[in-house]
Amino acid sequence: MRQLSVVILAAGKGERMLSSKPKVMHEIMGKPMVGYVVERAQELSPINTVVVLGYGKEKVREYIKGFDIVTAIQRGQKGTAHAVLSAEKPVKGHDVLVLYGDVPLIESSTLKGFLNFFQKAGTVTFMTTDVMNPTGYGRVIMKKDCIEKIVEDVDARPSEKKIKRINTGICAIPSHLFPLLKEIKADNRKGEYYLTDIYKILHKRGIDVKGYHHEKSSDVLGINSKKELLDANIIMRDRILDDHMKNGVALLDRNVYIEEGVVIGRDTIIYPDTHISGKTWIGEGVSIGPNSFIRDSVIHNRVNVEGFVFMEGAEIEEGARVDPYTKILFKTLIRKDSKVHECVKEMNTVWRKKK
């Protein structure tokens, strides 16, 4: 297998989000969407993972500093090819996989299948998918598995706008073809350097450009609006809930919010309208809810947390019981087999079993 580096484009502002926050910092199930993309990239064990920053770069850099990544800066919003070239130095001599910080639902299995196809093709490869409403996306014209043309939505003719096959933006470039990105021209309505225009450069040299088709479009589409952000949250929520149920957790309703990274043991029951977030660890045989809120807490085995409980930064030892309408806040420890009575508020306290 050839050496691979990953470039994640995260420089855009995201005008349609109608927010001062950098687009890639909007959260899905409690995590900025760029975090999901970095994690999927690093599961591929690349030589380098390069995140290209631009708008709001300090906020994005502060978040991703905990990852083993390299950053590059795109000076000005000059298009995707310009953004990828901003990362030229740390990826030199490597094949390059281009991902997007606003495509958080991409899965490792999808990327591995794409890379296997790319390595056999030995040429620039774009990931495509079909959508019912392709407005805003680049249309792809195919001949078998070769791409004949990619046209951006703003530049498409009326007949081309009817095409349902779109470019997801995800792209792989062999190391020997990467320098050709510098030949891309900004000869389009937006005056930008489109990464997709690499197909024109390659066709002039008699080199094919391949298309890898992915059936499940929801996995590979970008998040460009608050509506799409909500849709992505719902998809990610269901993935998280499915993973917990596969591991033996019982859910009585899907109307439950559990952030990625929360650990829950088997035979635990989560009742409806419960919210579990942050660095929460829950043992086995626990009962929680309904309508309880738990953040950054540790709950040991066989604990019963009744409904309408608010808990943050607390620890509950094995066999304890927390009655309804109770607040248990920072640095509170509920000892083994003890009971916290209804409507009590505790903070920075040790609660022991009564003799």
Q: Looking at residue 103, what is its pLDDT?
A: 97
Superfamily for the 247-351 domain: Hexapeptide repeat proteins (2.160.10.10)
Same fold, 4-219 and 247-351: no
Q: Looking at residue 352, what is its pLDDT?
A: 62
* Six token digits for residue 84: 């990828």
d(CA 22, CA 128): 26
Q: Looking at residue 1, what is its pLDDT?
A: 56
Would you state the torsion angle of the CA atoms of residues 176, 182, 186, 191, taken in this order, to the nearest 10 degrees? 110
Over residues 103-118, the mean pLDDT reads: 97
Residues 135-153 have pLDDT tens digits of 889 999 999 899 999 998 8
Over residues 110-130, the mean pLDDT reads: 97
Q: Looking at residue 227, what is its pLDDT?
A: 95
Going by pLDDT thresholds of 50, 70 and 90, the confidence category of residue 354 is low
Q: Is the per-residue pLDDT at 327 higher than 80?
A: yes
Going by pLDDT thresholds of 50, 70 and 90, the confidence category of residue 343 is low
Superfamily for the 4-219 domain: Spore Coat Polysaccharide Biosynthesis Protein SpsA; Chain A (3.90.550.10)
Contact 87, 49 (CB under 8 A): no
* Three-state SS at 90: helix
- With tokens 């909500």, the residue in question is 230
Q: Looking at residue 152, what is its pLDDT?
A: 87
Q: Is the per-residue pLDDT at 224 higher than 80?
A: yes
Radius of gyration of the chain (CA): 24
Going by pLDDT thresholds of 50, 70 and 90, the confidence category of residue 35 is very high
* Three-state SS at 50: strand
Going by pLDDT thresholds of 50, 70 and 90, the confidence category of residue 317 is very high
**pTM (predicted TM-score):** 0.92
Q: Which residue has the higher pLDDT, 251 or 66?
A: 251
Which of 77, 80, 73, 76 minimizes the C-alpha distance to 50? 73
Domain boundaries, the chain: 4-219, 247-351
What DSSP designation does 254 have?
S
* Six token digits for residue 310: 């608010």
d(CA 222, CA 131): 13
